[in-house]
Structure 1
């Protein structure tokens, strides 16, 4: 931190070298020193630019438009009195980003009737195909085609839920960067710093959301439910961008992506505890993130309203670090496993539905896997801004496990594991999918035996199911038990 009381980077006083002309320039147009008490780094101009006008001394050669924009941005930052993130600013910047097409050079556009019809038909057909691949019923009561701006508006409430807890920690840390002896006297200053923090977060989150809106193809791309259950959403403009270089008919691309969206919706709609489980994993990991106050001091001390890129660069370097504790490592494992299990189930189910029907199923599956595993620029921005990577690192392992469960226990037995979070595979189970499948079969066989014993009223009697006849082989009995396990 700098040597000034508030750490805002006041420049040191320069010694008087006897050059009166130079001294006069410093006082009248140098742009630094007492005329700029908070040291916010406003650029100074030549001495003749402002004469005795103190504002000219502060802002020098800035033209009126730049000066007005700087004051407007500063005013927005310092007048904000809401939560840890200025979400009004975030939404405005996100919408501006998509309207100008700054993320990919493609400007956002309203969705036309033909595109809406194509999306509705694709989701309807996808739901029919999924009926053969999963025991979970349809979760999409409606299908909508969104523009990028509509995606921003619809998903903003969930982003607030994800980002606010971490941003709150930054707001508290911005007060902590002051020396302890100054904090009692600096109430208004701390409030100003937190307002600045909310604005800086709002600006960065807005840009990240605007960029992400140019990448996503639906409402479930990040593995978390961004909208209420029951509505499948696709973005026609982004689907076209996604499929233009794949050498696959656009109808197949749209249908495959509709399968993924509809599969997610089935899971989120009919596994009532899943949403809280996922967000609980995110929250558990976020609680263990600590703020790099040294980097935060640098951001605050170099604050310059005319040069927001400087703040963006500092924040994008990341100021969040996970704590190196067993609890934090366990929280990370829970989060990564939860994301992987959701994405792995969707991957396995969609592949089962698409493989017999789409010639491009294998190619599209591999493209989506790689895209999901590497993440785009916006996902990386969120990782540096809030220390959170919403990426299923073990997608392939999870997909293999769900496929093995399908082979061993059938569709009903596989989907039955979603009945309770304690029944789901763990991170160690992803290391040994066959071991988990075999272990599950043994567990359920023992459970059936105990239930049969209890029903017969005697542990000494042979445990025969109602469909099992004397002399029937053990393997056949186990097969019958396996087929019924999915309903438990």
Structure 2
């Protein structure tokens, strides 16, 4: 009974006072990856799995095993990752006017990716989750709230637990797919830390039937390019996260879907909580403001991914025999999104895959042709200098007009109003 009450308290707690039980999310994600130490599994109330020994010091990833698995990383593999990132940064040097953004390198297990990126996921998900939890609380009639008194807060806590549990499952699945810290185009990891996930890179390479060293180096090139961009464009991190926030602000909660989901919850059958699905409870507002926010977000993601793809393909050049196959495979992968990314999008109402990636890559290639490497990268100097969505339609014309405008400004000088 003491253990049950302790788990019940943990389930309904929301550390930090936010809308999501992030402790629960982390534990569920970890359980999805590794299970519990020695394979023992404790059961959370309402059917949510919690690794046995929760609350005790976490076991090293190398000692854990579970449904998905989280292979340990040996010294040789860590050395190969560090060398790949060092070589990738060297190859990028003549192809980017932005200097190296790598302060340190890391080879992450899947669990380490999860723990290293959780703070950013919290910033991305909390605003949307807050509206979902608030909508759940609003389902309680006003007259009933007065009767329930302090117990009304349990409804809010239940929402945080529901969202935390399902978000943990989505993040655990995503941890088994991502290849690096910057793989999905957002600055998820600590600034300056270039990190690869060797277990996922190995599985991805086997599916491509391409030499593992080539795949690792190609991923390292992409990671090093992301680090240059986010490390030396100081406004970019805030710009991307603000674009996500602006889009998330226009997402509304489908109260009917929440009411239907909660109607399936039977307090006398706690295991039934596993069957409550929150996917689809969010949908974007079909308003001009929301459409504009979505356009800004998609354009920002496409410009980032397009720039990375362009400079990586130039840097790889004739150095990687299968660079064409690798580039095409990555374009398809980013355009479609993996299963876990699709689950995450359904859960929080936010797709993180860039649209028009091929057009964005062609745009940066045209800008390099007309402006050179330095002129191309000078456009990252301010968000107002970046190409807009219309530039994707005719990259050559945009690049030519951009160069002519820059030349005219240089001729007129700084005194021109």
Task: Classify the TM-score, shorter chain.
Answer: 0.7 to 0.9
TM-score of the two chains, using structure 2 as the length reference: 0.88
Which residue number corresponds to residue 300 of structure 1?
A: 262
TM-score of the two chains, using structure 1 as the length reference: 0.75
Please say if residues 14 and 20 of structure 2, whose CA atoms lie closer than 8 Å, have aligned partners that are also in contact. no
Question: Counterpart of 1:173 in 2: which secondary structure?
Answer: helix
Quick one: which of 20, 27, 32 aligns to 1:92?
27
Quick one: which of 222, 235, 238 aligns to 2:184?
222
Q: Structure 2: where are the runs of 5+ without partners? A: 37-48, 50-64
Which residue number corresponds to residue 399 of structure 1?
A: 361
Quick one: which of 325, 339, 344 aligns to 1:377?
339
Which residue number corresponds to residue 12 of structure 2?
A: 78
For residues 449 and 180 of structure 1, the distance between their equivalents in structure 2, rounded to whole angstroms, comes to: 68
Deviation at 1:168, TM superposition (A): 0.8
For residues 400 and 70 of structure 1, the distance between their equivalents in structure 2, rounded to whole angstroms, comes to: 58
For residues 161 and 248 of structure 1, the distance between their equivalents in structure 2, rounded to whole angstroms, comes to: 37
**Aligned pairs for 1:370-449 within 5 A:** 370-449=332-411
Which residue number corresponds to residue 262 of structure 1?
A: 224
For residues 241 and 350 of structure 1, the distance between their equivalents in structure 2, rounded to whole angstroms, comes to: 22
Deviation at 1:105, TM superposition (A): 5.8
Q: Relative to 1, partners in 2 of residues 1:424 and 1:104: Cα closer, same or farther, differing over 3 Å?
A: farther
Structure 1, 441-450 or 369-378: larger mean CA deviation: 441-450
Deviation at 1:229, TM superposition (A): 1.8
Within the alignment, does 1:196 sit opposite 2:158 as a pair? yes
Please say if residues 175 and 183 of structure 1, whose CA atoms lie closer than 8 Å, have aligned partners that are also in contact. no
For residues 400 and 174 of structure 1, the distance between their equivalents in structure 2, rounded to whole angstroms, comes to: 46
Question: Counterpart of 1:306 in 2: which secondary structure?
Answer: helix
For residues 413 and 355 of structure 2, the distance between their equivalents in structure 1, rounded to whole angstroms, comes to: 39
Please say if residues 408 and 437 of structure 1, whose CA atoms lie closer than 8 Å, have aligned partners that are also in contact. yes
Please say if residues 345 and 398 of structure 1, whose CA atoms lie closer than 8 Å, have aligned partners that are also in contact. yes
Please say if residues 355 and 362 of structure 1, whose CA atoms lie closer than 8 Å, have aligned partners that are also in contact. no
Cα-to-partner distance string for 1:415-468 (whole Å, 9 max, x where unaligned): 01000000001111112222321221221122122118x69xxxxxxxxxxxxx
Which residue number corresponds to residue 127 of structure 2?
A: 165
Question: Counterpart of 1:233 in 2: which secondary structure?
Answer: strand
Cα-to-partner distance string for 1:133-162 (whole Å, 9 max, x where unaligned): 111111112111010011111001000000
Deviation at 1:386, TM superposition (A): 1.1
Within the alignment, does 1:240 sit opposite 2:174 as a pair? no
For residues 6 and 148 of structure 2, the distance between their equivalents in structure 1, rounded to whole angstroms, comes to: 24
Deviation at 1:286, TM superposition (A): 0.4
For residues 7 and 273 of structure 2, the distance between their equivalents in structure 1, rounded to whole angstroms, comes to: 9
Cα-to-partner distance string for 1:160-211 (whole Å, 9 max, x where unaligned): 0000111111121112112344344444343111100111111011111110
Deviation at 1:309, TM superposition (A): 2.5
Question: Counterpart of 1:324 in 2: which secondary structure?
Answer: coil
Deviation at 1:265, TM superposition (A): 0.3
Which residue number corresponds to residue 206 of structure 1?
A: 168
For residues 72 and 286 of structure 1, the distance between their equivalents in structure 2, rounded to whole angstroms, comes to: 34
Question: Counterpart of 1:144 in 2: which secondary structure?
Answer: strand
For residues 66 and 226 of structure 2, the distance between their equivalents in structure 1, rounded to whole angstroms, comes to: 27
Q: Relative to 1, partners in 2 of residues 1:431 and 1:403: Cα closer, same or farther, differing over 3 Å?
A: same
Q: Relative to 1, partners in 2 of residues 1:68 and 1:301: Cα closer, same or farther, differing over 3 Å?
A: farther
State the structure with bigger RCO (CA 8 A, min sep 6), 1 or 2. Answer: 2
Deviation at 1:129, TM superposition (A): 0.3
Quick one: which of 312, 315, 335 aligns to 2:278?
315
Which residue number corresponds to residue 133 of structure 1?
A: 95
Please say if residues 108 and 147 of structure 1, whose CA atoms lie closer than 8 Å, have aligned partners that are also in contact. yes
Greater Rg by CA: 1
Which residue number corresponds to residue 463 of structure 1?
A: none
**Aligned pairs for 1:87-126 within 5 A:** 87-100=22-35, 106-126=68-88
Deviation at 1:302, TM superposition (A): 2.0
For residues 183 and 332 of structure 1, the distance between their equivalents in structure 2, rounded to whole angstroms, comes to: 37
Question: Counterpart of 1:232 in 2: which secondary structure?
Answer: strand
Question: Counterpart of 2:150 in 1: which secondary structure?
Answer: helix
Please say if residues 76 and 199 of structure 1, whose CA atoms lie closer than 8 Å, have aligned partners that are also in contact. no
For residues 224 and 308 of structure 1, the distance between their equivalents in structure 2, rounded to whole angstroms, comes to: 32
Structure (1/2) with the larger helix percentage: 2
For residues 247 and 299 of structure 1, the distance between their equivalents in structure 2, rounded to whole angstroms, comes to: 43
For residues 347 and 217 of structure 1, the distance between their equivalents in structure 2, rounded to whole angstroms, comes to: 15
Q: Structure 1: where are the runs of 5+ without partners? A: 1-66, 456-488
For residues 3 and 299 of structure 2, the distance between their equivalents in structure 1, rounded to whole angstroms, comes to: 46
Please say if residues 32 and 169 of structure 2, whose CA atoms lie closer than 8 Å, have aligned partners that are also in contact. yes
Deviation at 1:384, TM superposition (A): 1.3
Please say if residues 147 and 237 of structure 1, whose CA atoms lie closer than 8 Å, have aligned partners that are also in contact. yes
Say what the alpha-carbon RMSD is for the aligned residues.
Answer: 2.2
Which residue number corresponds to residue 310 of structure 2?
A: 348
